[in-house]
Amino acid sequence: MPISPARIRAYTLTTALGHGCRPHRQALSEMRPGLRLWTPEEAPVQSWAGVVDGLDAVRLPARLAEFDCRNNRLAELALGGDGFAEQVEAARERRGPSRIGLFLGTSTSGIRHTEQCYRRHFEEKTPGLGDDLRFAYTHAYVSLADYCRRRLGLSGPAVVISTACSSGAKTFAAAQRALSAGLCDAAVVGGVDTLCATTLLGFHALGLLSPTPCTPWGQGRTGISIGEGAAFALLERDGDADDDGLSLLGFGESTDAYHIASPHPQGDGAVLAMRAALDSAGLSADAIDYINLHGTGTPANDLSEDRAVARVFGEAAIAGATKGWTGHTLGASGAVEAVISLICLREGLLPGTLNTQRFDPELKTRLIRNSEARPIARVLSNAFGFAGNNCALVFGRTSCA
């Protein structure tokens, strides 16, 4: 059954490509990457990664200093992009702080801060882990929502979602349900995730880190390039749309639980999510102008997603994958790529597929090689997490739905 579209008032993102929407649009248009070689002190494993510069210099407001950790610094930096915090303040004045919900995704939260405290303890022989390790404020998942809630002056429902790589996308679905149920009149959604040794060493142990910048859909692809990033959007259930006239038109979720890490080989869960997204938007598959693929660059994930897309859209779908620019930003990736989808709609931009020189001939979905300008009205964005936690989002202009 079609849902009532949620209006998108504002959106922003910060990744290795820069701070705010403008540098992302420029990098996507110019096929300019954000990945670089990265070897953290605490984990002597070299990889290509999307690192956000300048986070060590970010300072949280004095009243929120107890939340200081890399993840909350990235949230603070991102909230200041594209006038987003000011847009939320305006919504708070219109709606009241108790009528604005907060739905955020993360997978690592403040783990890097805790890693550093342990490292200091064992290397410098400090007694205990230090006063700067405050679990509820610098490590736990709730830290992100609690920080953003206080920072933005909100008192409505607040939720943190952690379903690995689909976390940030699922916040849009959760917010739309809350808006439809009347639990809130507006919602801040998004995701924030930062690089840490646990993630780097985990993917290294799984043999999933690519020794070169990741090559989604590429022949001989070898794995992912990890990254960090943050993205936020402000949704409202009624009122005028923003100047771009963009809305969340539909969403679909599934949990196939095929395997703890590997996707279903035929993409069964992904198919369910994409079909549910189209149904909730009241659209047929041929109404989608562009598919923003999850496109991690691993052999199994790309093959599974390709089979799923072919089952839903056939072999003529126009698609691309953007992790070659930002890296896989993990729990933030679904939100980051949702905002990239909004930029593509606003700018009339189809991103190419960075780094991939030769596409895998066994994959059927046709990917755009080089970025091009082309008006588009509707985008479907995929995000798939461990254990088959899948989410697909449809964005577009309400007048075109």
Half-sphere exposure of 279 (CA within 13 A, CB side): 10
For residue 355, which of 15, 37, 35 has the smallest C-alpha distance?
A: 35
Q: Between the CA atoms of 308, 310, 312 and 313, what dihedral angle is there, to the nearest 10 degrees?
A: 140
* Structural contact between residues 100 and 156, judged by C-beta atoms closer than 8 angstroms: yes
* Structural contact between residues 385 and 166, judged by C-beta atoms closer than 8 angstroms: yes
- The three-state DSSP-derived secondary structure of 127-176 is CCCCCCCCHHHHHCCHHHHHHHHHHHCCCCCEEEECCHHHHHHHHHHHHH
Write down the catalytic residue from 148, 165, 184, 344: 165
123 class by beta-carbon count within 10 Å (0-12 exposed, 13-18 middle, 19+ buried):
exposed
Annotation marks residue 121 as catalytic:
no
Q: Return the DSSP state at 39.
A: -
Using alpha carbons, list the distances in angstroms from residue 133 to 116, 128, 223, 302.
9, 10, 33, 39
Q: Which two tokens stand for residue 93?
A: 């004045």
Buried b (16+ CB within 10 A) or exposed e, 353-383: bbbbeebbeebebebbeebeeeebbbbbbbb
For residue 55, which of 76, 29, 30, 31 has the smallest C-alpha distance?
A: 76
Write down the catalytic residue from 19, 24, 328, 391: 328
For residue 380, which of 328, 326, 319, 327 has the smallest C-alpha distance?
A: 319
Write down the catalytic residue from 148, 294, 344, 391: 294
Q: How far apart are CA 143 and CA 134, in angstroms?
A: 10
| SS3 call for 106 | coil
Annotation marks residue 113 as catalytic:
no
Annotation marks residue 196 as catalytic:
no
Catalytic site positions:
165, 294, 328
